[in-house]
Amino acid sequence: MSRRTLTMLLATLLAIGLAAGAGQARVPYVALGPGPMYNTLGEMDGKPVIAIEGRPTFPTDGHLDLTTVGVQSRLTLAGALAGWFARDLAVVPREVVYPPGKSDQQVEQQNTEAMRTSQDSAAAAAARQLGLRVAEVTVAEIPSGAPASGLLQVGDVLTAVDGIPLRDAAELRSVVSAKKVGDAVRVSFVRAGVEGSVDIVTGPSGDAGTPRPVIGVSPSEKRVDLPFDVTISLQEVGGPSAGLMFALGILDKLDEPSLTAGKYIAGTGEITADGTVGPIGGIPQKLVAAKAKGAVAFLVPAANCEEAVKQPPAGLPLLRVATLSEALTGLEALRSGGQPVLCAA
């Protein structure tokens, strides 16, 4: 073998070795992929995912699956390159999942706390949907000259508006906003243990544009104990994105008819105690997982629709939901053979 040939062979081997080493080097990215799915109506390790005490429950059928995102946190250069070309993976900077200055353990603890909060909010949203009171509404402030000035006092506990029992402060705003400026609103309250009621003529809000009707009080809320206890046995999931599916699972157990009619429904979304459904991350990966598991419909937070319709799995209807009530309306349409509101392409 000539010296020239030997030199070229050694250079080639060295280049291959360097490329292999570079391919195995860690990079500051993580890959997001389809994660496990859990049926909120099913069981986990022999226990119901959702157990309810203190209120009668009803049999359930079908699936109301929450979806998750799997995280590959120790990517090599080769793995990152492969992930960039994979349809069901998203390669993102590591700080998107693990913020700088926080350890993996701290992030895990934060996600666990977010999951606990989402469970509490889901139970409150379900109770609210059933017409139950979830918060005590108190007058925190009345600006001088407001319509309620001289009629209500700071510290009054508001109990009803126009005869509608208040479930929370959101309902107070909703009822008043449905009026016209100049309409009278009857507000019932408790002051120092004594019940009372007053008629308040709504005034215009100070917002730009078309003024909203207001009574001129700043309410505060104090969460009240629900008339039932909810235990969720799901230790392997973190973050807030299961809130919507937890709320639906709770409602399906507490009320009739079946929300699924035996169908396989999946979905995602944060939820607040008043039933507002918020956006989440990883929607493309969750859609892939749902399609692979056989879901016949997917509940998508309204704010995620634009992303969801970019590469929708074929044959998987994407139901647009901004509130828990809209999710229930969409499921009712599926049960009756109607047309639910879908994410627009």
Q: What is the mean pLDDT of each run of 10 residues along the chain (345 residues)?
A: 52 45 62 89 94 96 94 72 67 71 76 88 96 96 95 97 95 95 97 97 86 95 94 84 96 95 97 96 94 97 96 95 98 96 90
Residues 38/278/327/311 CA torsion (nearest 10 deg): -70
Q: Where are the domains of the chain?
A: 30-130+227-336, 135-223
Instruction: Give the SS3 label for residue 88.
Output: coil
* Domain 30-130+227-336 top-level CATH class: alpha beta
Contact between 286 and 268 under an 8 Å Cβ cutoff? The reply is: yes
Handedness of CA 163, 220, 169, 212 (dihedral sign): positive
Which amino acid, residue 56?
A: P
Angle (CA) 155 223 163, round 5° = 65
> Does 30-130+227-336 match 135-223 in CATH topology?
no
> Token match 């879901």: residue?
295
Contact between 305 and 258 under an 8 Å Cβ cutoff? The reply is: no
The tokens describing 308, both together, are: 């969801």
Q: Tell me yes or no: is domain 135-223 CATH 3.40.50.1820.
A: no
Residue 137: in which H helix or E strand, if any?
Answer: strand 135-141
**Helix 104-129 vs helix 243-254: crossing angle, to nearest 10:** 40
The tokens describing 320, both together, are: 């647009």
> Token match 């909120």: residue?
40
Residues in contact with 277: Cβ distance below 8 Å, sequence separation at least 6, in sequence order: 243, 244, 269, 270, 271, 301, 302, 321, 322, 323, 324, 326, 327
Alpha-carbon distance 68 to 99, whole Å? 20
Alpha-carbon distance 109 to 58, whole Å? 34
| pTM across the whole model | 0.84
